Amino acid sequence: MPSAHRLLQALARPLERINTAEAAITASQRRPGFSPSPLGRFRKPFHGSHPRHDPHHAAAPNQHHAIALGAALPSLFRARTLSTLRLVPTNDDMAGALKGTGSPPIVRTASPAPLAQDFVRQQVAKQQRTNFHSTSLKTAPFTTMVSASVNKTNLHPAGVQPQREHTEIEEELHDKAHIDYDRVAIVANPSVAALYEDALVYETGSAITSSGALSAYSGAKTGRSPSDKRIVKEESSENEIWWGPVNKPMTPDVWRINRERAIDYLNTRNRIYVVDGFAGWDERYRIRVRVVCARAYHALFMRNMLIRPTKAELEGFHPDYTIYNGGAFPANRYTSGMTSATSVAINFKDQEMVILGTEYAGEMKKGVFTVLFYEMPVKHNVLTLHSSANEGQDGDVTVFFGLSGTGKTTLSADPKRALIGDDEHCWSDKGVFNIEGGCYAKTIGLSAEKEPDIFGAIKFGSILENVVFDPETRVVDYDDDTLTENTRCAYPIEYIENTKIPCISSGHPKNIILLTCDARGVLPPISKLSTEQTMYHFISGYTSKMAGTEQGVTEPTATFSSCFAQPFLALHPMRYAKMLAEKIAEHGSNAWLLNTGWVGAGATTGGKRCPLKYTRAILDAIHSGELAKAEYETYETFNLSVPKTCPNVPDELLNPAKAWSGTTDFKGEVKKLGTLFMENFKKYEDQATTEVIKAGPHVCCCQKD
């Protein structure tokens, strides 16, 4: 490859021809009645000849470089490069300005001469600093925009551009949030391909993987930040909210500060994205949601997770709730009530959500979930569930309650049953409906053999989060937790082949399965629950918090999450528990406690995670009705009914006492966990019945009267 010096010499020859042509054009313009432009430069509309250049004006070296390079570049770059020289005043212009015959000269700072080998790189950088990109182009073609100018004169050859007509979305964002629609390109409901392009160009860490899915990096926060969740304390919802460590109050003044901070950040971006969608497949209860964000990654994520409107539904779409995601910009830690640079706040009166200080996309998804935990019970008497759900060929519905990492997504993706949804549902008077339009599956340890449905859903349109891939083949290593244990993939729900569309069932749940992931290894893999036991374990919501699902969690930790959804609840847990009890009684549902955690021993004492094939075999027996007919025995301390046999599952695995091989005392571990249950339930005893309290575990040193 020739050096930069030789390249410039080779390209310098056309310069003389350009200058000669420029001189002829300039001379023809210097006629009576031709006035200089406000820039001090003689101007005429360009009709295809070379850009004008004064040969008598000694061009600066960097100008010669630009001209010489432009002659060899493609026509688009050449035209854009050379046309900029028209803005540089000549000596004659300067003289005319001094004599009063022209406009005052414009003082311009000389830029350093670019190196030839850096020129293309600088052009790319220039595009990245502007709004010139596929999703940033206005709807009107360029020729229309040029011809729209009026009142053109020789003095003002560009004329006057009429004020651009703004879209309805732009007007709404400007009026409601003061988004500067004249400076910021507002990209409304872009296509998947356009979001891919923008993510690849503008967002570090983005790549297209071998499966066709887009890989994105969420930054320092790779999990939710539940300690930074805030609810605005205002008169319309103050008496409904369950205030405490889950829902910390935020004053309206601090809310306004954080909202303004997020919007100010969005106004500094060259482009922002707007994604409109629905939450809730039942049209009687669905909520219109608008997401305003600065990252293509976030826009594609919510495009997948919300229910995608039709083109007709987007016409005149007006949101019930709006999310302003300024996650790349921190909250002010010194603002009253802020404990960190992260803030995830919801205002039920203004029907808005503001995110600062975290780029983890899951915050938006779970924010919408919290909205439904408030709106559905309070306004419609509909029960919101942190659950997955599927439907059998006979219309029988199974609901899986559980926290992240317990297997909701994995177990609901059953090739023998139609998927209704993998995470968020509502139970109404007419059946069960999904809240979302997509799935958000954990991918750590994923393989085509273990979870073929989820593995097959990772393709073009899906977005992988914080995964590690081979830099050459772009094949993802799903076992690599270098960035986080909480690797995820968000994909449209229809990517699961046997999804029920629309995601709604007229059947009421026949089986209710409470999922837990017990890291101590002392809970049975499966137990049949009475109504009172169902209430007790639903309110308790025991599981082991799995590594990576929240910021700072690096190993399994015992936790109790009421209703298996405590981080997302808006109301007191007993309110949801009573609604569930009423529905179980009304529809005669069967309930089960399914442990997807450790068997044989604890996670740190030699146990192993219950193999997925055994968990699926247990589910098959539940759905076929075989497990309900099995012989049961009572599991001490917890008083659970445990089957003695289950098809395709080793008998010794079903009872932890028989399968124990750990290095610690089994009975001691059982008592420890039973005591934790009892201590946790004390905060609910004042609102629970005696039968529900007695349905829990019993450690002999404590009386339960």
Q: Evaluate whether 306 touches 275 at the Cβ level (below 8 Å).
A: yes
122 pLDDT band (50/70/90 cuts)?
Answer: low
Radius of gyration of the chain from Cα atoms? Answer: 32
Residue 243 has pLDDT above 70, yes or no: yes
Q: In this predicted structure, what is the pLDDT of residue 50? A: 38
Q: Is the pLDDT of residue 562 over 50?
A: yes
**pLDDT band of 150, cuts 50, 70, 90:** confident
Distance of CA 413 to the CA centre of its chain: 21
Above 70 in pLDDT, residue 23?
Answer: no
CA separation for the pair 658, 653 (Å, rounded): 7
Q: What is the pLDDT of residue 28?
A: 46
Asked if residue 295 lies in contact with residue 203, where contact means CB atoms within 8 angstroms, the answer is yes
Percent of the chain predicted with pLDDT > 70: 77
User: Which of the pair, 685 or 210, is modelled with greater confidence?
Assistant: 210
pLDDT band at 513 (very low <50, low <70, confident <90, very high): very high
Question: For the chain, how many residues are written?
Answer: 705
Q: How far, in Å, CA of 262 to CA of 254, rounded?
A: 12
- Cα distance between residue 468 and residue 478, in whole Å: 7
Query: Looking at residue 410, what is its pLDDT?
Result: 83
Q: Which two tokens stand for residue 361?
A: 């996309």
Most confident by average pLDDT, 78-87, 98-107, 118-127, 546-555: 546-555
Distance CA 257, CA 177 (A): 13
Greatest CA separation for the chain:
110
d(CA 268, CA 538): 46
pLDDT at 125: 57
CB-CB neighbours of 615 under 10 Å: 21
Does residue 100 surpass a pLDDT of 50? no
Other CB atoms within a 10 A radius of the CB of residue 429 amount to 11
CA distance 535 to 696: 9
Tokens matching residue 340: 């960190």
Q: Which of 233, 209, 204, 229 has the alpha carbon at shortest distance from 219?
A: 204
Cα–Cα distance, 98 to 141 (Å, whole number): 41
DSSP 8-state class, residue 189: S
Q: Is the peptide bond before 252 cis (omega within 30 degrees of 0)?
A: no
- In this predicted model, what pLDDT tens digit does every residue of 339-362 receive, in sequence order? 899 999 999 999 999 999 999 999
Residue-wise pLDDT for 663-693, tens only, equals: 889 999 999 999 999 999 999 998 888 999 9
Supply 145's token pair.
């925009």
Place of tokens 């016409």: 315
Share of the chain above pLDDT 90, in %: 66
Whether the per-residue pLDDT at 608 is higher than 70: the answer is yes
Higher pLDDT, 224 or 112: 224
Asked if 401 and 512 count as a contact pair (C-beta separation under 8 A), the reply is yes
End-to-end CA distance of the chain: 90
User: Residue 698: is its pLDDT beyond 80?
Assistant: yes
Spatial CB neighbours of 361, under 8 Å, sequence gap ≥ 6? 218, 297, 298, 301, 302, 465, 490
Computed over every residue of the chain, the mean pLDDT equals 83
What is the arithmetic mean of pLDDT over 227-250?
A: 95
Catalytic residues, by residue number, are 224, 366, 386, 404, 408-409, 423, 488
Task: For the chain, give percent helix, strand, coil, nearest 5.
Answer: 35, 20, 45
d(CA 503, CA 364) in angstroms, rounded, equals 21
Surface-to-core class of residue 422, CB atoms within 10 Å of its CB (0-12 exposed, 13-18 middle, 19+ buried): buried
**Low-confidence winner among 220-224, 274-278, 403-407 (lowest mean pLDDT):** 403-407
Rounded mean pLDDT of 356-377?
A: 98
Confidence of residue 90 (pLDDT cuts 50, 70, 90): very low
> Which domains are assigned to the chain?
4-129 (no CATH), 167-206+222-380 (3.40.449.10), 381-441+491-705 (3.90.228.20)
Cβ atoms 432, 389 nearer than 8 A: yes
- Its pTM stands at 0.76
DSSP state at residue 106: P
Overall average pLDDT of the 202-226 stretch:
96
The yes-or-no verdict on residue 588 having pLDDT over 90 is yes
Name residue 279's beta-bridge partners.
287
Out of 107-111, 308-312, 396-400, 621-625, pick the least confident: 107-111
Angle at 259 between CA 253 and CA 261, to 5 degrees: 105
Comparing CA positions, the residue from 359, 176, 367 lying closest to residue 260 is 176
Buried b / exposed e over 150-187, threshold 16 CB at 10 Å, is eeeeeeeeeeeeeeeeeeebbebbbeebebebeebbbb
Q: Which band of pLDDT confidence, cut at 50, 70 and 90, is reported for residue 511?
A: very high
Q: Are strands 424-428 and 488-492 parallel, antiparallel or unpaired?
A: unpaired
Tokens linked to 704: 């339960």
| Residues 468-496: tens digit of each pLDDT | 999 999 999 999 999 999 999 999 999 99
Q: How confident is the model at residue 151 (pLDDT cuts 50, 70, 90)?
A: confident
pLDDT at 247 over 90: yes
Residue 142 identity: F
pLDDT tens, residue by residue, 652-664: 999 999 999 988 8
| Sequence-ordered strand ranges (E) for 259-396 | 271-279, 287-293, 321-326, 343-347, 352-356, 383-391
Region of residue 157 (phi > 0: left; psi between -120 and 50: alpha; otherwise: beta): alpha
**7 dihedral zone (left: phi>0; alpha: psi -120 to 50; beta):** alpha
Q: Quote the pLDDT of residue 587.
A: 95
Greater pLDDT, 88 or 430 = 430
Tell me how crowded residue 24 is: count the other CB atoms within 10 A of its CB. Answer: 14
H/E run at residue 79: helix 75-83
pLDDT grade, residue 402 (50/70/90)? Answer: confident
Relative to beta strand 509-516, strand 590-595 is parallel
Q: Using one digit for the tens of pLDDT, what is the confidence trace for 27-62?
A: 444 444 444 433 333 333 434 333 333 433 344 334
| Residues paired with residue 288 on neighbouring β-strands, in sequence order | 278
Number of H helices, E strands in the chain: 21, 30
Write down the pLDDT at residue 546: 57
What average pLDDT does the segment 313-318 reach?
Answer: 95
Rounded to whole angstroms, how far apart are CA atoms 207 and 475?
A: 11
| Beta bridge pairs of residue 542 | 560
Higher pLDDT, 202 or 84: 202
CA distance 29 to 217: 56
- Over 532-587, what HEC string results? HHHHHHHHHCEEEECCCCECCCCCCEEEECHHHCHHHCCCCHHHHHHHHHHHHHHH
Angle of the 75-83 helix axis to the 61-72 helix axis, nearest 10:
160
Q: Which residue has the higher pLDDT, 42 or 235?
A: 235
Closest CA to 379 of 240, 252, 249, 235: 240
Q: How confident is the model at residue 295 (pLDDT cuts 50, 70, 90)?
A: very high
Amino acid (one-letter) located at 82: L
d(CA 509, CA 583): 9
Structure tokens at 362: 């899951």
